[in-house]
Structure formats: structure tokens, C-alpha cells
């Protein structure tokens, strides 16, 4: 279970505002993460721009509509379109979220958490195995932020995430910001979360900003990465090693150069931890 990128690498989420600056300036970014659904289309400018950027940069695919936690799992039509995009762009890996996004075929355009129990693990792991068979590759699944808990929960979130990866033989996209957000909202120890995730299963790390409302935190992706999230990222690198990492920004999007400068902080943190370890 080795990463396709075997050393530290650092990416950004590809956003339409940055198409032209990327092509003109060739920023120091190792790869870009695309939102799969934005490019699951028959043609047009998004695909044309993606093809141009792919000539210079590898990409990874990140979905928001697979709804792996619904009883029937992803539809055959969705998987067909996803596989078509995979064949077109040859991503390093393909990810989505451990969540449900709608019912009765209606997408509610949100990432809803699941009950953390054995029944849900069995359901999700079965759906993941089916998707992996269709796609012919391992799926990478992200932990989501949450603002409620189910009365049927019988385990901690990290135990739930780890069990799905082990039972489905899938990989984990560890969103460090989501861990921090949920740890504040629900009062658990973020370090205990990291310790509960198995070594060798983490394919990628997400970093993002949030909005702190005092009584709770919302995962808004409209701010710079907060200091407590950087601190938790350092702890994640200490535990998991050289995992490809990236910054997400979905609103209040700054100029590309500003995000590239922020990404340099991730490089510095990772290097400060890994370089002494490699020299020892």
C-alpha cells in the first residue's frame, strides 16, 4: 500500500479563477486536485482548460456526490461517468467522502455524516468494494466535519473510519481541518483521532480554513489555514510521514500566488519534521 507519490508533495485544489494564472505562471505546485463532478461533462471550457493544465501537472480526482453511505450506493450512471473521466485524465488517485449526500436519487449538495456503528461499516465497506471493482482501483475516502451525533453511534469516528478502510481495503484522505473542527464541536481529543488511524492507509492530507463562531466551528473553506490546524498537521506528519498534502479553498478565493505562498508553509512544516528523521 504505497503512495503513487513516494516523497513529500504538495498540491492545490484547482479552481476556475486560477486557470489562466496556472497556465501563464507555472506555479511551484506538485499536482492539482480537481472536483470530479465539475468535469464529468461531455465537453466545453472546463475540460479544455483541464487538458491544458494536465500537460504540465499531474491531477487527482476528488468527488462530492458519490454518496457512498446510502443503502444502494452510487448509481451505475454516476460510476460510468466517473470512470469515463478517470480514463480521460489518468489521475494519481480518486477520492470522495465517507458520508451520504441525498436520498431517493436527489442530491442535497451537502456531506452528511453517518452513524458510527457496525451496521454502517458493513454497508459502506460493501459499497466501497463494489465501486473499487467498477473503477479497477482503490478508492480514497475522506473524513467529513460534523455538527451532530447519532443516538445509534457505538464507536468513535476514528474507529469507524479505520474499520471501513480495513474491511474494504481502501485508503484514507485525512482532512486535518475536519478533525480539528469536529474535535471542538464534539469535545474529543484530536490527537487520539490521529493515533486511531492505521499507518499505511493515509493516501492524502487536506488542509483548509474554517469559521469559528465561539460555541462551534464550521468547515467553510473560506479562510486561511488556522494555527491550531497547522499544529495538528505537524502531528499528522510525525505519525504518518511523507503524505501528499494540499490546501482547499472554495470561497473568498485569493490570488493564486497567495495560496502558493500558504502551501509553502505546509512544505516548511513537513520538511522540518521529516528532514531530521531522514538524517538520523
Which tens digit of pLDDT belongs to each residue from 232-252?
Answer: 999 999 999 999 999 999 999
- At 277 the pLDDT is 62
pLDDT band at 102 (very low <50, low <70, confident <90, very high): confident
Contacts of residue 19, defined as CB under 8 A and 6 or more positions apart, other chains included, come to 49, 53
pLDDT in tens, 77-99: 999 999 999 999 999 999 999 99
213-236 residues labelled b (16+ CB within 10 A) or e (exposed): eeeebebbbeebbbebbbebbeeb
CATH number of 136's domain: 3.20.20.150
Question: Is residue 190's pLDDT more than 90?
Answer: yes
pLDDT band at 225 (very low <50, low <70, confident <90, very high): very high
Q: What is the mean pLDDT of residues 210-223?
A: 92
pTM for the complete prediction? 0.94
Q: What is the mean pLDDT of residues 131-150?
A: 95
- At 105 the pLDDT is 66
Percent of residues, the chain, with pLDDT higher than 70: 94
- Is 5 part of any domain? no
- Mean residue pLDDT of the chain comes to 93
pLDDT in tens, 13-45: 999 999 999 999 999 999 999 999 999 999 899
- At 106 the pLDDT is 67
pLDDT band at 4 (very low <50, low <70, confident <90, very high): very low
Q: What is the mean pLDDT of residues 254-276?
A: 96
Per-residue cell: 60: 487527482
Contacts of residue 233, defined as CB under 8 A and 6 or more positions apart, other chains included, come to 176, 205, 207, 225, 245, 266, 269
Question: Is residue 118's pLDDT more than 60?
Answer: yes
Give the count of domains, the chain.
1
- Is 105 part of any domain? yes
- Is 1 part of any domain? no
- At 104 the pLDDT is 62
Per-residue cell: 55: 500537460
User: Which residue, among 67, 62, 33, has the nearest Cα to 50 in the 3D structure?
Assistant: 33
- C-alpha distances in Å from residue 72, one per residue of 75, 102, 104: 8, 11, 10
What do you get for the CA distance between the two ends of the chain, in Å? 25
Residue 267 near residue 242 (C-beta atoms within 8 A): no
* Between 223 and 2, residue with greater pLDDT: 223
- Is 155 part of any domain? yes
The C-alpha atoms of residue 121 and residue 162 are separated, in whole angstroms, by 10
- Is 3 part of any domain? no
Q: What is the mean pLDDT of residues 181-192?
A: 97
> CB under 8 Å, gap of 24 or more: what pairs does 218-224 form?
218/145, 218/147, 218/181, 219/145, 219/177, 219/178, 219/181, 220/251, 221/248, 221/249, 221/250, 221/251, 222/249, 222/250, 222/251, 222/252, 223/252, 224/262
Question: Is residue 7's pLDDT more than 90?
Answer: no
pLDDT in tens, 59-77: 999 999 999 999 989 999 9
Q: What is the mean pLDDT of residues 215-225?
A: 93
- At 18 the pLDDT is 98
- Is 248 part of any domain? yes
Owning domain of residue 102: 10-279
- Is 257 part of any domain? yes
Amino acid at each position: 500500500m504505497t503512495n503513487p507519490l513516494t516523497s513529500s508533495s504538495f498540491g492545490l485544489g484547482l479552481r476556475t479563477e486560477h486557470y489562466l494564472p496556472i497556465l501563464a505562471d507555472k506555479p511551484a505546485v506538485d499536482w492539482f486536485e480537481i472536483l470530479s463532478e465539475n468535469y464529468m461533462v461531455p465537453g466545453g471550457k472546463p475540460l479544455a482548460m483541464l487538458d491544458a493544465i494536465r500537460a504540465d501537472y499531474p491531477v487527482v480526482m476528488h468527488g462530492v456526490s458519490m454518496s457512498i453511505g446510502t443503502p444502494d450506493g452510487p448509481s451505475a450512471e454516476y460510476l460510468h461517468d466517473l470512470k469515463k473521466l478517470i480514463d480521460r485524465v489518468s489521475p494519481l488517485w480518486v477520492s470522495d467522502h465517507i458520508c451520504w449526500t441525498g436520498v431517493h436519487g436527489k442530491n442535497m449538495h451537502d456531506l452528511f455524516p453517518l452513524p458510527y456503528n457496525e451496521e454502517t461499516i458493513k454497508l459502506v465497506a460493501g459499497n466501497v468494494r463494489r465501486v473499487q471493482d467498477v473503477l479497477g482501483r482503490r478508492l480514497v475516502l475522506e473524513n467529513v466535519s460534523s455538527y451532530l451525533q447519532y443516538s445509534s453511534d457505538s464507536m468513535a469516528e476514528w474507529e469507524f473510519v479505520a474499520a471501513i478502510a480495513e474491511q474494504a481495503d481502501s485508503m484514507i484522505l485525512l482532512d486535518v481541518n475536519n478533525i480539528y473542527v469536529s474535535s471542538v464541536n464534539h469535545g474529543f481529543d484530536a490527537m487520539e483521532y490521529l493515533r486511531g488511524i492505521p499507518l499505511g492507509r493515509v493516501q492524502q492530507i487536506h488542509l483548509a480554513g474554517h469559521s469559528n463562531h465561539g460555541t462551534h466551528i464550521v468547515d467553510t473553506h473560506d479562510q486561511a489555514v488556522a494555527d491550531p490546524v497547522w499544529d495538528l498537521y505537524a502531528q499528522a506528519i510525525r505519525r504518518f510521514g511523507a503524505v501528499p498534502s494540499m490546501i482547499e479553498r472554495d470561497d473568498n478565493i485569493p490570488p493564486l500566488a497567495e495560496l502558493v505562498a500558504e502551501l509553502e508553509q505546509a512544505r516548511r512544516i513537513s520538511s522540518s519534521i521529516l528532514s531530521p528523521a531522514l538524517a538520523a
